[in-house]
Amino acid sequence: MKNRLKEDIVASGRFGREPERRVDAFDILDPENGVTRPTGTEANAKVRAYAMEKMEEAGLDVRMDAVGNIFGRKKGSDPGVGAVMCGSHLDSVVNGGQLDGALGVFSAIEAVRRLNDEGYTNRRPIEVAVFTGEEGSAFGMTLLGSTALVGKMSYEDALARKNPEGRMLKEVLENSGYAGEFVMDLKNVEYFVELHIEQGPVLYNKKMPIGIVENIAGITWVYATIRGEGNHAGTTPMKMRKDALVAAAEIILFVEKRANEMVDKLGSATVGTVGKLTVFPNGTNIVPGRVELGIDIRDVVPAHMESLKGEVSEALKALEEKYGVSVDVSVPPFHSPEPLSPEVVDIIEKSAAQTGVRTMRMNSGAGHDSQNIASRVKTGMIFVPSVGGISHAPMEWTEWEDIETGAKVLTQTLRNLAGS
């Protein structure tokens, strides 16, 4: 593959890894020490600066919008036609990998560099995009920047969201130097394409180099705070306890059991996960007085997702009478399942054939900014294999050969779209 794309991925992978170090091979990954760079952190600011530098080196006109989304524009020969947008995100989950999101950003920059190298004249403008807060690891909801961009949430509401330290997005963007005033008008964008690691095992197990996404699963989160009564573990009789963690345990098992039942009975792609659990005061000899849960529900069928969300909310409230606890439930804005553009799917398939690459069509169980953009713009996604199907973990990896294949297909796709 071209060394500059590999260099960008390896160099950017230092940011959020403690201590900072370069990782360019699977066998030197540390299974305990991944990448952590939520929006608003110093590591996130560093990787943004690196990406903007590479955009400018590629000759792009770089600017930031009001929620910190970054755009780099390559002008087209026909100013009257809609642009082709391409990109992803640079924030990460806690202790994740260096490819999720970053591959999509740096492969988009590399595709522009390759088009420049060959002297290609694009009819449509090309916009390289970096979206703010895709992961939801800092401000309590996924796809934050793209949600504001497509108008599903106002910029004011997005900027008012708070991270676990109680700081608003507006404050952290201003403090890090990434608060812009520009607002992208998606009416001037005709197509969007995102290259991403699959984050699942299908392509890797099938030894298939490229997946073309037809549908993206919807995501809804349910947050709950269960308040019991903290007390001495030795002197509080079992029958007189209000143990918040015991109540929470019932919900954890309910989510697992009910999601499996839906898969078995409906043949659905439903998944339910209790991925966040915070226990207070978290002492071995103290009856837990408060537990905070974060529950993730996904499906490609909206009715299935809504059904499980409703059942989980009801089960949470039922804990009050059974365990003598109080339960507060909140549900941030959710992201509906989204079909991608058949036109763009066909063009990606054609582009892969032109580069001699085998493909398969598939769904995405992970959420992506593409599903927001697809509500306004003709959108497609290209997947490359994830080694062992692992993602959102330190052992996340894609072989360099597969990354190069993805970059070739993406470049050809941009060539076909930008020339249309």
Q: Are 22 and 14 in contact (CB under 8 A)?
A: yes
Q: How far is CA 182 from CA 91, 109, 154, in A?
A: 21, 21, 14
How does strand 286-287 pair with strand 231-232?
antiparallel
For residues 26 and 142, state if they share a domain.
Answer: yes
In whole angstroms, give the CA distance from residue 26 to residue 98: 11
CB neighbourhood size of 300 (10 A):
20
Residues 266 and 195 in one domain: no
Considering its fold, how many domains does the chain have in total? 2
Q: Are 125 and 76 in contact (CB under 8 A)?
A: yes
Which of 330, 356, 374 is where one domain is finished?
Answer: 330
Question: 378 and 230: one domain?
Answer: no
- Return phi, psi of residue 312, to 5°: -65, -40
For residues 303 and 360, state if they share a domain. no
pLDDT in tens, 139-171: 988 999 999 999 999 999 999 999 999 999 999
Among the candidates 297, 312, 330, a domain finishes at 330
* Encoded tokens for 298: 């996904």
Predicted local confidence at residue 140, as pLDDT? 86
pTM of the entire predicted model? 0.87
Domain assignment of residue 279, given as a range: 218-330
Is 173 in contact with 68 (CB distance < 8 Å)?
Answer: yes
pLDDT score recorded for residue 5: 97
Q: Are residues 202 and 234 in the same domain?
A: no
How many Cα atoms within 13 Å fall on the side-chain side of residue 264?
6
For 212, list phi and psi in degrees, rounded to 5.
-115, 120
Same domain, 205 and 231: no
pLDDT of residue 157: 95
Q: Do 321 and 206 fall into the same domain?
A: no
Residues 212 and 223 in one domain: no
- Alpha-carbon distance of 220 to 242, in angstroms, equals 29
- pLDDT, residue 2, reads 58
Q: How far is it, in rounded angstroms, from Cα 349 to Cα 380?
A: 10
- The CA distance from 388 to 265, in Å, is 28
How high is the pLDDT of residue 267?
87
Per residue in 31-40, pLDDT (tens digit) is 999 999 999 9
Matching residue, tokens 């030197």: 28
Same domain, 94 and 207: yes
Same structural domain for residues 159 and 41? Answer: yes
Last residue in a domain, options 330, 353, 388: 330
Same domain, 114 and 132: yes
Type and span of the H or E element at 291 = strand 290-299
First vs last C-alpha separation in the chain: 27
Q: What is the pLDDT of residue 335?
A: 84
176 and 275, same domain (yes or no): no
| pLDDT < 70 stretches in the chain | 1-2
CATH code where residue 194 lies: 3.40.630.10
C-alpha to C-alpha distance for 345 and 194, rounded to whole angstroms: 12
